[in-house]
Structure 1
């Protein structure tokens, strides 16, 4: 399953897994258009996916709706969930903080709970952005370690 499947990263995940022969269920409700107007509309990408993929099924649901999320999970057995759906704009987060929280936190919680209940062995991958580090993430000093396990 790929959430945000019509967006930039989500659609690339759909294409990749489709090319590997996997059956892909995509969830996207084109909320980018609600956030950003016509320039954020992702329907063109959804049309592309429907036309040029072999094993893709689209579900037009809102991840804030727990019952809809649970319905999708109860009708499929997922091995992998790639969660790309989000409200990505920090400016919008200031303008619409409750909606931002509902999409990014509550929606993610619904997906995690559905994974726990319906496919606990599945791998859950949560995509994010460098924006979580602020507007100038490349200006922070980094300490390079020999392995990622040095953080443990």
Structure 2
């Protein structure tokens, strides 16, 4: 497994296991996706020292489970804004951890603000890498877009 795969897997698993105590496992092949209406997607631009984008797509049912756990609320008490806010917070943490792992120790980086996106497929002409994860029966994906985020970066100096 290359360092990019290792960094993303660690970032996603560590974030969600610590945040909401959910067991997360990487999945090699994604099952048939849900309808776009059942998914929420958030993107976050990375500005410096590399440029690219990270996208997180999760089924609404999984975001709801995460939100219920975080706020100790029932499904009926969860608002759409809570779901959106939690999805944005999750991508912020994942992107930050990912950048910390692929860049030299202590190297500064600059992230944009999370933005909700339509759950459209990635344009195949764009340079991208996708990782799929599972929590119980719920699968979700993280995608990096942009040549700089495909881990063609110089070797890390550990």
Q: Same fold (TM over 0.5)?
A: no
- Give the structure with the larger helix fraction: 1
Q: Which of structures 1 and 2 has the larger relative contact order (alpha carbons within 8 angstroms, sep 6+)?
A: 2
Q: Normalising by structure 2, what TM-score?
A: 0.29
Q: Normalising by structure 1, what TM-score?
A: 0.30
Structure with max Cα Rg: 1
- Give the structure with the larger strand fraction: 2
